[in-house]
Amino acid sequence: MKKRILALLMAGAMALGLAACSNGGDDKTGDDVTTYKVGVAIYEYNDNFMTLYRNEIDRYFKEKETDKVKYEVTFQDGKSDPATQTNQIDTFITQQMDVIICNLVQTSTAEAVIDKIVAANIPLVLINREPLGETDESYPGIVDNPKVCYVGADARQSGTYQGEIVAALDNKGDMNGDGVVKYVMVVGDPENPDAQYRTEYSIKALTDAGIKTECLVENIGNWQTDKGQEITNSALTQHGSEIDVVFCNNDGMALGAAAAIKANNRTVGQDILLLGVDALDDCVEMVKNGEMTGTVLNDHIGQSHKAVDVAIELLEGKDIQNYYWVDYVKVDANYVNK
Ligand code: BGC
């Protein structure tokens, strides 16, 4: 009896051994499932655009799963606080994430963040807030590291499109006919290149078109709707019908500006113009019905897919580029009524 049991055990052990051999380190043909751990650090959950972006990262990782490859994705909210984000990155490193996707709270922390992630030998995909180098595509921590890249959109393009939408109007943005386009600039976050470039290039597009401009108010709205409303409201109280255009660095703030414009009995398209960036669904609807002059599509689908695709390439040990760019699209009345 003992012998029979021993024989059975041996046969079992051999069968297992054979099975192990046939799997021999080849993931593709074996039954093994590879689970990659992905850490995603977002600068702030309370941001309309980054919420769309974050949800699409989550959805698209799920879409990319197969029977053999799974992604365990952990999201963290940096709450607009660099110290909170640094702690979250430290935790990702301790948890030995296989790849990190990071939307910096502050681009000035980029060097420290990149250094610690690179030292832990974890690949890194930076998104949405571009650390700027001396020239384009030259940030040292990015170009010096083959496993670090930035995925984003060139904010100069979005600013230029805002200005071009105004310059293309019959009155070239001079709503009250006083010969100068006087504007309010609602700025996102002065530390963020998207805000800096949109502020600069929207006006540059007007001056390049030979249009005289004057800034009446420039104020920081931190990308938030309530701030956009507050800034626009006090600008309208102070400057009234002098204001031709309200430029907002994003649609979140433009939604607030639209409410302030209505509350002050002004009418977009008739006596004032309103521009945003992102092409949030609500704002595209408003461009359609004339409540906004225009916005610019900030393609969160294209950007999130690119970020996930590159993260997967890094997990697979493939070579990547240091910079990836996704185009903006001009969204004005012509575009939405097409
Ligand atoms: C978007 C803003 C967003 C910001 C966050 C920008 O690209 O246009 O809506 O608040 O990114 O960094």
Quick one: average pLDDT of 89-110?
A: 98
What type of residue sits at position 30? G
Is the shortest distance between the CB of 244 and ligand 1 below 6 Å?
Answer: no
Distance 188 CA to ligand 1 centre (A): 8
Lowest mean pLDDT among 8-12, 239-243, 287-291: 8-12
CA of 238 to the centre of ligand 1 (A): 28
The pLDDT assigned to 20 comes to: 33
Rounded Cα distance, 133 and 156, in Å: 15
% residues pLDDT > 90 (the chain): 90
Residue 2, pLDDT > 50, answer no
Residue nearest to atom 6 of ligand 1 (CA): 194
Whether 8 shows a pLDDT value over 50: the answer reads: no
Ligand 1 contact via 223 beta carbon (within 6 Å): yes
pLDDT at 283 over 50: yes
Closest approach atom of ligand 1 to CA 298 = 8
Question: Are the C-beta atoms of residues 101 and 311 closer than 8 Å to each other?
Answer: yes
Res 10: pLDDT:
44
Position 54 scores a pLDDT of: 98
Atom of ligand 1 nearest to the CA of 251: 9
- Examine the pLDDT at 7 and tell me if it is beyond 50: no
pLDDT at 66: 98
Q: How many Å apart are CA 304 and CA 286, to the nearest integer?
A: 25
Secondary structure of residue 140 in the 3-state scheme: helix
| β-pairing verdict for 273-275 and 99-102 | unpaired
Q: How far apart are CA 102 and CA 91, in angstroms?
A: 13
Give the 3-state secondary structure percentages of the chain, helix then strand then coil, rounded to 5: 45, 20, 35
Look at residues 80, 18, 58 and name the one whose alpha carbon lies nearest to residue 300.
Answer: 58
> CA nearest 163: which of 338, 48, 328?
328
Tokens describing residue 85 = 């984000």
| pLDDT for residue 16 | 42
Q: For ligand 1, say whether the CB of 300 is within 6 Å of any of its atoms.
A: no
Least confident piece of the model among 6-20, 75-89, 253-267, 295-309: 6-20
Helices (H), 95-224: 110-119, 140-143, 155-167, 193-208
Which pLDDT tens digit goes with each residue over 15-41?
443 333 333 333 444 579 999 999 999
Q: Whose CA is nearest to atom 11 of ligand 1?
A: 128
User: Token pair for residue 204?
Assistant: 């540059």
CA distance 36 to 133: 32
Q: How far is CA 151 from CA 20, 78, 279, in A?
A: 41, 19, 19
Q: In this structure, how many other beta carbons lie within 10 angstroms of the beta carbon of residue 30? A: 15
pLDDT reported for residue 17: 38
Q: Is the CB of 277 under 6 A from ligand 1?
A: yes
The atom of ligand 1 lying closest to the CA of 48 is 9
> Which pTM value belongs to this model?
0.90
Q: Say what the pLDDT of residue 338 is.
A: 81
Residue-averaged pLDDT of the chain:
93
CA distance 299 to 78: 22
Residues 6+ apart with CB under 8 A from 288: 333, 336, 337
